[in-house]
Amino acid sequence: MKLILLLLVSCIVVLSYASHQNYPGTSTRPILSDWEASQYTESNYLNGWSPETINTWQADYTVGSGKQYSSIQEAVNAAIWAGGSTRKYIRIETGTYKETVYIPSTSVPITLYGGGGSPDDVQIVLSLSAQTTGTEYTNIVNPNWQRYKSGDPAYSMFEKCYQSATIGTSCSSVVWIKADNVQVANVKFENPSTAAQAVAVQTNGDKTHFENVHFYGFQDTLYLHAGKAYLNNVIIKGDVDFIFGSATAIFKNSQIIGRADRPRTSALMFAPSTDPNNSYGFLVVNCQLSAESKVASSTGLRLARAWDSGVSSGQYVPGVSPNGQLIIRDSSIAKGLNVNAPYQTSTSGRAFSTSTSSSRNLNDNNHNRFWEYNNSGDSA
Ligand SMILES: *[C@@H]1O[C@H](CO)[C@@H](O)[C@H](O)[C@H]1NC(C)=O
Ligand SMILES: *[C@@H]1O[C@H](CO)[C@@H](O)[C@H](O)[C@H]1NC(C)=O
Protein backbone atom coordinates (compact mmCIF):
# COMPACT_ATOMS: atom_id res chain seq x y z
CA MET A 1 0.00 0.00 0.00
CA LYS A 2 2.78 2.41 0.99
CA LEU A 3 4.68 1.50 -2.17
CA ILE A 4 1.64 2.16 -4.38
CA LEU A 5 1.10 5.49 -2.69
CA LEU A 6 4.73 6.38 -3.20
CA LEU A 7 4.55 5.45 -6.90
CA LEU A 8 1.37 7.47 -7.29
CA VAL A 9 2.92 10.53 -5.62
CA SER A 10 6.08 10.36 -7.73
CA CYS A 11 3.95 9.96 -10.84
CA ILE A 12 2.00 13.12 -10.03
CA VAL A 13 5.22 14.98 -9.30
CA VAL A 14 6.67 13.94 -12.68
CA LEU A 15 3.48 14.91 -14.52
CA SER A 16 3.21 18.33 -12.95
CA TYR A 17 6.87 19.08 -13.77
CA ALA A 18 6.81 17.97 -17.42
CA SER A 19 9.59 20.43 -18.12
CA HIS A 20 11.45 20.68 -21.43
CA GLN A 21 14.46 22.14 -19.63
CA ASN A 22 16.45 18.96 -19.19
CA TYR A 23 19.93 18.72 -20.73
CA PRO A 24 20.60 18.14 -23.62
CA GLY A 25 17.06 18.83 -24.80
CA THR A 26 15.83 17.68 -28.20
CA SER A 27 16.60 18.30 -31.87
CA THR A 28 14.02 21.10 -31.86
CA ARG A 29 14.56 22.48 -28.37
CA PRO A 30 18.16 22.21 -27.11
CA ILE A 31 18.96 22.79 -23.42
CA LEU A 32 22.34 23.64 -21.88
CA SER A 33 24.04 21.72 -19.11
CA ASP A 34 25.09 23.61 -15.96
CA TRP A 35 28.66 23.60 -17.26
CA GLU A 36 27.70 24.82 -20.73
CA ALA A 37 25.50 27.55 -19.22
CA SER A 38 28.32 28.81 -17.01
CA GLN A 39 29.92 30.78 -19.88
CA TYR A 40 26.71 32.69 -20.66
CA THR A 41 27.12 35.36 -18.03
CA GLU A 42 26.48 39.07 -18.08
CA SER A 43 30.19 39.84 -17.84
CA ASN A 44 31.05 37.74 -20.90
CA TYR A 45 28.45 39.58 -22.96
CA LEU A 46 29.42 43.01 -21.62
CA ASN A 47 33.17 42.35 -22.06
CA GLY A 48 34.49 44.95 -19.63
CA TRP A 49 31.56 47.38 -19.69
CA SER A 50 29.68 47.89 -16.43
CA PRO A 51 26.55 49.98 -16.99
CA GLU A 52 26.23 52.65 -14.30
CA THR A 53 23.08 53.66 -12.46
CA ILE A 54 21.34 56.27 -14.60
CA ASN A 55 21.14 59.60 -12.82
CA THR A 56 17.64 61.06 -13.25
CA TRP A 57 17.87 64.23 -11.21
CA GLN A 58 20.36 66.34 -13.13
CA ALA A 59 19.02 68.36 -16.08
CA ASP A 60 21.31 70.25 -18.43
CA TYR A 61 18.46 70.64 -20.91
CA THR A 62 14.71 70.41 -20.32
CA VAL A 63 12.12 69.52 -22.92
CA GLY A 64 8.39 70.10 -22.56
CA SER A 65 5.62 72.54 -23.17
CA GLY A 66 6.71 75.93 -21.85
CA LYS A 67 10.24 74.63 -21.16
CA GLN A 68 13.64 75.45 -22.67
CA TYR A 69 12.96 73.20 -25.71
CA SER A 70 9.68 71.99 -27.18
CA SER A 71 11.21 69.07 -29.09
CA ILE A 72 13.63 66.40 -27.94
CA GLN A 73 15.64 66.73 -31.15
CA GLU A 74 16.41 70.40 -30.36
CA ALA A 75 17.81 69.41 -26.96
CA VAL A 76 19.91 66.63 -28.51
CA ASN A 77 21.28 69.11 -31.05
CA ALA A 78 22.13 71.57 -28.26
CA ALA A 79 23.97 68.88 -26.26
CA ILE A 80 26.03 67.90 -29.31
CA TRP A 81 26.82 71.52 -30.17
CA ALA A 82 27.96 72.09 -26.58
CA GLY A 83 30.62 69.42 -27.21
CA GLY A 84 33.12 68.04 -24.73
CA SER A 85 33.14 64.64 -23.10
CA THR A 86 31.07 65.40 -20.00
CA ARG A 87 27.73 63.61 -19.93
CA LYS A 88 24.79 65.84 -20.84
CA TYR A 89 21.41 65.15 -19.22
CA ILE A 90 18.19 65.82 -21.10
CA ARG A 91 15.04 65.77 -18.98
CA ILE A 92 11.78 65.24 -20.86
CA GLU A 93 8.68 66.45 -19.05
CA THR A 94 5.43 64.50 -19.00
CA GLY A 95 3.70 64.56 -22.38
CA THR A 96 3.41 62.95 -25.79
CA TYR A 97 6.11 63.82 -28.31
CA LYS A 98 5.24 63.12 -31.96
CA GLU A 99 8.70 63.37 -33.44
CA THR A 100 11.70 61.37 -34.51
CA VAL A 101 14.79 61.61 -32.31
CA TYR A 102 18.08 61.06 -34.10
CA ILE A 103 21.31 60.92 -32.09
CA PRO A 104 24.17 60.88 -34.60
CA SER A 105 27.66 59.67 -33.78
CA THR A 106 29.19 62.14 -31.28
CA SER A 107 31.78 62.20 -28.51
CA VAL A 108 29.24 63.76 -26.12
CA PRO A 109 27.71 61.11 -23.84
CA ILE A 110 23.95 61.79 -23.72
CA THR A 111 21.30 60.75 -21.20
CA LEU A 112 17.60 61.07 -22.04
CA TYR A 113 15.15 60.55 -19.24
CA GLY A 114 11.47 61.04 -18.61
CA GLY A 115 10.44 63.25 -15.70
CA GLY A 116 7.18 61.39 -15.02
CA GLY A 117 6.37 58.79 -12.39
CA SER A 118 6.11 56.01 -14.99
CA PRO A 119 7.58 55.41 -18.46
CA ASP A 120 4.09 55.85 -19.95
CA ASP A 121 4.01 59.48 -18.77
CA VAL A 122 6.56 60.42 -21.43
CA GLN A 123 5.68 58.97 -24.82
CA ILE A 124 7.69 59.35 -27.98
CA VAL A 125 5.41 58.09 -30.70
CA LEU A 126 5.24 58.33 -34.46
CA SER A 127 3.80 56.13 -37.18
CA LEU A 128 6.36 55.33 -39.91
CA SER A 129 6.90 52.11 -41.82
CA ALA A 130 9.31 50.66 -44.34
CA GLN A 131 6.64 51.43 -46.96
CA THR A 132 6.30 55.13 -46.07
CA THR A 133 7.27 57.18 -49.13
CA GLY A 134 10.10 59.70 -49.00
CA THR A 135 7.56 62.49 -49.49
CA GLU A 136 5.27 61.30 -46.69
CA TYR A 137 8.32 60.83 -44.47
CA THR A 138 9.50 64.39 -45.12
CA ASN A 139 6.06 65.80 -44.28
CA ILE A 140 5.83 63.79 -41.05
CA VAL A 141 9.42 64.02 -39.81
CA ASN A 142 10.52 67.43 -41.03
CA PRO A 143 7.44 69.63 -41.37
CA ASN A 144 8.30 72.93 -43.12
CA TRP A 145 11.94 71.77 -43.07
CA GLN A 146 12.32 73.17 -39.57
CA ARG A 147 13.35 70.12 -37.51
CA TYR A 148 16.28 68.93 -39.63
CA LYS A 149 18.14 71.77 -41.33
CA SER A 150 21.32 71.59 -43.32
CA GLY A 151 24.15 72.00 -40.79
CA ASP A 152 22.24 70.36 -37.90
CA PRO A 153 24.04 67.40 -36.25
CA ALA A 154 21.42 64.89 -37.40
CA TYR A 155 20.74 66.36 -40.84
CA SER A 156 22.71 63.66 -42.66
CA MET A 157 20.55 60.96 -41.03
CA PHE A 158 17.41 62.67 -42.32
CA GLU A 159 19.02 63.28 -45.70
CA LYS A 160 19.76 59.56 -46.20
CA CYS A 161 16.08 58.73 -45.70
CA TYR A 162 13.98 61.38 -47.37
CA GLN A 163 15.15 60.86 -50.95
CA SER A 164 14.09 57.20 -51.16
CA ALA A 165 10.91 56.19 -52.97
CA THR A 166 9.98 54.17 -49.85
CA ILE A 167 12.10 54.64 -46.77
CA GLY A 168 12.82 51.00 -45.76
CA THR A 169 13.18 49.41 -42.33
CA SER A 170 16.06 51.51 -40.90
CA CYS A 171 14.48 54.85 -41.75
CA SER A 172 11.19 53.79 -40.14
CA SER A 173 12.92 54.14 -36.73
CA VAL A 174 11.21 56.69 -34.47
CA VAL A 175 14.31 56.92 -32.30
CA TRP A 176 17.69 56.20 -33.89
CA ILE A 177 20.81 56.11 -31.73
CA LYS A 178 24.14 56.09 -33.56
CA ALA A 179 26.20 57.59 -30.72
CA ASP A 180 28.07 55.52 -28.14
CA ASN A 181 27.36 55.72 -24.38
CA VAL A 182 23.71 56.79 -24.63
CA GLN A 183 21.55 56.21 -21.55
CA VAL A 184 17.76 56.23 -21.60
CA ALA A 185 15.37 55.95 -18.64
CA ASN A 186 11.66 56.25 -17.82
CA VAL A 187 10.21 56.76 -21.29
CA LYS A 188 7.94 54.92 -23.68
CA PHE A 189 8.79 54.57 -27.37
CA GLU A 190 6.10 53.56 -29.80
CA ASN A 191 5.75 53.00 -33.52
CA PRO A 192 2.08 52.07 -34.01
CA SER A 193 2.27 51.43 -37.77
CA THR A 194 0.91 48.06 -38.88
CA ALA A 195 1.63 48.70 -42.57
CA ALA A 196 5.01 46.93 -42.77
CA GLN A 197 8.25 46.77 -40.78
CA ALA A 198 8.02 49.66 -38.29
CA VAL A 199 10.91 50.23 -35.87
CA ALA A 200 10.33 52.07 -32.59
CA VAL A 201 14.03 52.23 -31.61
CA GLN A 202 17.25 51.45 -33.48
CA THR A 203 20.69 51.40 -31.86
CA ASN A 204 23.98 51.35 -33.75
CA GLY A 205 26.18 52.88 -31.08
CA ASP A 206 28.14 50.96 -28.46
CA LYS A 207 27.14 50.77 -24.78
CA THR A 208 23.51 51.81 -25.06
CA HIS A 209 21.75 51.47 -21.73
CA PHE A 210 17.96 51.37 -21.29
CA GLU A 211 16.40 51.32 -17.86
CA ASN A 212 12.66 51.29 -17.13
CA VAL A 213 11.71 51.87 -20.77
CA HIS A 214 8.73 50.62 -22.80
CA PHE A 215 9.09 49.69 -26.47
CA TYR A 216 5.81 49.16 -28.32
CA GLY A 217 5.39 48.23 -31.96
CA PHE A 218 4.31 45.39 -34.23
CA GLN A 219 6.90 44.09 -36.74
CA ASP A 220 10.57 44.95 -36.00
CA THR A 221 9.92 47.01 -32.86
CA LEU A 222 13.45 47.04 -31.43
CA TYR A 223 16.38 47.00 -33.85
CA LEU A 224 19.62 46.37 -31.93
CA HIS A 225 21.68 46.87 -35.02
CA ALA A 226 25.27 47.00 -33.72
CA GLY A 227 27.44 47.54 -30.64
CA LYS A 228 26.45 46.48 -27.13
CA ALA A 229 23.15 47.20 -25.41
CA TYR A 230 21.97 46.62 -21.87
CA LEU A 231 18.24 46.62 -21.16
CA ASN A 232 17.05 46.34 -17.58
CA ASN A 233 13.47 46.43 -16.35
CA VAL A 234 11.94 47.14 -19.76
CA ILE A 235 8.77 46.02 -21.55
CA ILE A 236 9.01 45.09 -25.22
CA LYS A 237 5.81 44.38 -27.18
CA GLY A 238 5.46 43.34 -30.79
CA ASP A 239 4.44 40.51 -33.09
CA VAL A 240 6.96 39.66 -35.84
CA ASP A 241 10.76 39.55 -35.33
CA PHE A 242 10.24 42.25 -32.80
CA ILE A 243 13.69 42.15 -31.20
CA PHE A 244 16.33 41.83 -33.88
CA GLY A 245 19.80 42.75 -35.11
CA SER A 246 23.52 42.03 -34.85
CA ALA A 247 24.23 43.69 -31.51
CA THR A 248 25.39 42.02 -28.33
CA ALA A 249 22.53 42.66 -25.91
CA ILE A 250 21.38 41.70 -22.44
CA PHE A 251 17.70 41.72 -21.50
CA LYS A 252 17.29 41.51 -17.74
CA ASN A 253 14.31 41.66 -15.36
CA SER A 254 12.12 42.52 -18.32
CA GLN A 255 8.82 41.57 -19.93
CA ILE A 256 8.70 40.45 -23.54
CA ILE A 257 5.17 40.22 -24.86
CA GLY A 258 3.87 38.80 -28.15
CA ARG A 259 0.85 40.90 -29.06
CA ALA A 260 -2.23 39.79 -30.96
CA ASP A 261 -4.04 43.04 -31.71
CA ARG A 262 -2.86 43.60 -35.30
CA PRO A 263 -4.73 41.15 -35.24
CA ARG A 264 -2.53 38.06 -35.48
CA THR A 265 -2.64 34.64 -33.88
CA SER A 266 1.12 34.12 -33.92
CA ALA A 267 4.17 35.96 -32.64
CA LEU A 268 7.93 35.59 -33.04
CA MET A 269 10.12 37.29 -30.47
CA PHE A 270 13.81 37.29 -31.40
CA ALA A 271 15.58 37.49 -34.77
CA PRO A 272 19.29 37.85 -33.99
CA SER A 273 21.81 38.24 -36.79
CA THR A 274 25.04 37.79 -34.83
CA ASP A 275 28.44 37.80 -36.54
CA PRO A 276 29.54 34.14 -36.84
CA ASN A 277 32.75 34.92 -34.93
CA ASN A 278 30.89 36.55 -32.04
CA SER A 279 29.85 34.01 -29.38
CA TYR A 280 27.62 36.54 -27.65
CA GLY A 281 24.45 37.80 -29.32
CA PHE A 282 21.33 38.13 -27.16
CA LEU A 283 21.22 37.03 -23.50
CA VAL A 284 17.79 36.92 -21.89
CA VAL A 285 17.99 36.49 -18.13
CA ASN A 286 15.37 36.72 -15.38
CA CYS A 287 12.72 37.84 -17.86
CA GLN A 288 9.05 37.02 -18.32
CA LEU A 289 8.13 35.91 -21.83
CA SER A 290 4.44 35.77 -22.68
CA ALA A 291 1.86 36.18 -25.38
CA GLU A 292 -1.51 37.90 -25.37
CA SER A 293 -4.40 35.48 -25.09
CA LYS A 294 -5.38 35.64 -28.78
CA VAL A 295 -1.98 34.23 -29.80
CA ALA A 296 -3.00 30.63 -30.52
CA SER A 297 -2.57 28.62 -27.36
CA SER A 298 0.29 26.09 -27.49
CA THR A 299 1.34 26.87 -31.09
CA GLY A 300 1.16 30.59 -31.72
CA LEU A 301 4.31 31.80 -30.01
CA ARG A 302 7.86 31.17 -31.29
CA LEU A 303 10.96 32.23 -29.43
CA ALA A 304 13.20 32.97 -32.40
CA ARG A 305 14.44 32.56 -35.93
CA ALA A 306 17.88 33.44 -37.21
CA TRP A 307 17.91 36.59 -39.32
CA ASP A 308 20.47 35.67 -41.96
CA SER A 309 20.91 39.34 -42.81
CA GLY A 310 22.09 39.91 -46.37
CA VAL A 311 21.91 36.20 -47.25
CA SER A 312 19.64 35.17 -50.14
CA SER A 313 17.53 32.08 -50.01
CA GLY A 314 19.70 28.95 -49.79
CA GLN A 315 22.98 30.91 -49.79
CA TYR A 316 23.96 30.56 -46.09
CA VAL A 317 27.69 29.86 -45.68
CA PRO A 318 28.79 28.63 -42.21
CA GLY A 319 31.37 30.97 -40.64
CA VAL A 320 30.80 33.66 -43.25
CA SER A 321 27.07 34.41 -43.02
CA PRO A 322 25.67 35.82 -39.79
CA ASN A 323 24.37 33.18 -37.38
CA GLY A 324 22.08 34.56 -34.67
CA GLN A 325 23.09 33.70 -31.10
CA LEU A 326 20.48 33.65 -28.32
CA ILE A 327 20.38 32.30 -24.77
CA ILE A 328 17.15 32.34 -22.78
CA ARG A 329 17.85 31.45 -19.17
CA ASP A 330 16.47 31.75 -15.65
CA SER A 331 13.28 33.18 -17.15
CA SER A 332 9.60 32.29 -17.19
CA ILE A 333 7.84 31.33 -20.42
CA ALA A 334 4.06 31.48 -20.17
CA LYS A 335 1.56 29.44 -22.17
CA GLY A 336 1.21 29.92 -25.92
CA LEU A 337 4.64 28.66 -26.95
CA ASN A 338 5.00 25.93 -29.53
CA VAL A 339 6.92 23.85 -26.99
CA ASN A 340 8.03 21.21 -29.49
CA ALA A 341 9.24 23.69 -32.11
CA PRO A 342 9.98 27.05 -30.51
CA TYR A 343 12.46 28.01 -33.27
CA GLN A 344 11.56 28.69 -36.89
CA THR A 345 13.39 28.28 -40.18
CA SER A 346 15.86 31.15 -40.72
CA THR A 347 15.16 34.04 -43.07
CA SER A 348 17.38 32.46 -45.75
CA GLY A 349 15.48 29.17 -45.49
CA ARG A 350 17.77 27.15 -43.17
CA ALA A 351 15.65 24.67 -41.24
CA PHE A 352 16.38 24.92 -37.51
CA SER A 353 19.24 22.58 -36.63
CA THR A 354 21.12 21.84 -33.44
CA SER A 355 23.16 19.15 -31.72
CA THR A 356 22.28 17.04 -28.70
CA SER A 357 25.73 15.44 -28.57
CA SER A 358 27.60 15.58 -25.25
CA SER A 359 30.66 16.91 -27.09
CA ARG A 360 28.80 19.60 -29.04
CA ASN A 361 30.42 22.91 -29.93
CA LEU A 362 27.95 25.64 -28.99
CA ASN A 363 29.42 27.95 -31.64
CA ASP A 364 29.37 25.51 -34.56
CA ASN A 365 28.03 27.68 -37.37
CA ASN A 366 26.76 24.60 -39.20
CA HIS A 367 23.97 24.71 -36.61
CA ASN A 368 21.79 27.37 -35.05
CA ARG A 369 23.05 28.95 -31.83
CA PHE A 370 19.83 29.07 -29.79
CA TRP A 371 19.86 27.56 -26.31
CA GLU A 372 17.73 27.55 -23.19
CA TYR A 373 18.61 26.92 -19.58
CA ASN A 374 16.73 26.82 -16.26
CA ASN A 375 13.47 28.34 -17.46
CA SER A 376 10.14 27.92 -15.70
CA GLY A 377 6.47 28.51 -16.47
CA ASP A 378 3.75 26.73 -18.49
CA SER A 379 5.82 26.53 -21.69
CA ALA A 380 9.23 25.85 -20.14
C1 LIG B 1 35.73 34.91 -38.75
O2 LIG B 1 37.08 34.63 -38.39
C3 LIG B 1 37.78 33.92 -39.40
C4 LIG B 1 39.15 33.55 -38.84
O5 LIG B 1 39.76 34.67 -38.25
C6 LIG B 1 37.86 34.77 -40.67
O7 LIG B 1 38.53 34.08 -41.68
C8 LIG B 1 36.45 35.13 -41.13
O9 LIG B 1 36.50 36.02 -42.21
C10 LIG B 1 35.65 35.77 -40.00
N11 LIG B 1 34.28 35.92 -40.43
C12 LIG B 1 33.66 37.10 -40.41
C13 LIG B 1 32.26 37.09 -40.93
O14 LIG B 1 34.16 38.12 -40.00
C1 LIG C 1 17.29 29.33 -12.09
O2 LIG C 1 16.49 30.49 -12.28
C3 LIG C 1 16.04 31.09 -11.07
C4 LIG C 1 15.19 32.28 -11.47
O5 LIG C 1 14.04 31.85 -12.11
C6 LIG C 1 17.21 31.53 -10.23
O7 LIG C 1 16.75 32.04 -9.01
C8 LIG C 1 18.13 30.35 -9.97
O9 LIG C 1 19.30 30.80 -9.32
C10 LIG C 1 18.54 29.71 -11.31
N11 LIG C 1 19.34 28.51 -11.06
C12 LIG C 1 20.54 28.32 -11.61
C13 LIG C 1 21.17 27.01 -11.33
O14 LIG C 1 21.09 29.15 -12.30
Q: For the segment 128-162, what is each residue's pLDDT rounded down to a tens digit? A: 999 999 999 999 999 999 999 999 999 999 999 99
Residue 364 is a catalytic residue? no
Checking if the pLDDT of 16 tops 60, the result is: no
**pLDDT > 60? residue 50:** yes
Q: Whose C-alpha lies nearest to ligand 2, atom 6?
A: 330
Q: Let me know: does 277 contact 244? Beta carbons within 8 Å.
A: no
The closest alpha carbon to 136, from 126, 149, 150, belongs to: 126
Q: What's the confidence (pLDDT) of residue 2?
A: 53
Q: Which of these ranges, 50-54, 82-86, 293-297, 368-372, has the smallest mean pLDDT?
A: 293-297
Q: Mind listing the pLDDT tens digit for each residue in 264-312?
A: 999 999 999 999 999 999 999 999 999 999 998 888 999 999 999 999 9
Decide if pLDDT at 357 tops 90.
Answer: yes
Q: Which ligand is nearest the CA of 19, by number?
A: 2
Cis peptide before 263 (omega within 30 of 0): yes
| CB distance 317 to ligand 1 below 6 Å | no
Residue 12 pLDDT: 43
Number of other residues whose CB lies within 10 A of the CB of residue 238: 27
Predicted model pTM: 0.95
Q: For residue 296, what pLDDT is reported?
A: 86
Output the pLDDT for position 234. Answer: 98
Ligand 2 centre distance from Cα of residue 373 (Å): 9
Q: Is the pLDDT of residue 9 over 80?
A: no
- What pLDDT does residue 4 have? 53
Q: Which atom of ligand 1 is nearest to the CA of 275?
A: 13
CA 340 remoteness from chain centre: 24
Summarised one tens digit per residue, pLDDT across range 170-213 is 999 999 999 999 999 999 999 999 999 999 999 999 999 999 99
Name the closest ligand to CA 373.
2
Which neighbouring-strand residues pair with 256? 236, 289
String of DSSP letters for 6-39: HHHHHHHHHHHT--S--TTB-SSSBB--HHHHTT
Separation of 330 CA from ligand 2 center, angstroms? Answer: 5
C-alpha to C-alpha distance for 191 and 139, rounded to whole angstroms: 17
Percentage of the chain beyond pLDDT 90 is 94
pLDDT surpassing 80 at residue 18: no
In the chain, the domains with their CATH numbers are 23-373 (2.160.20.10)
Work out the mean pLDDT of the chain and round it to a whole number. 95
Cα 360 to middle of ligand 1, angstroms: 21
- Spatial distance between the Cα atoms of 216 and 359, rounded to a whole number of angstroms: 41
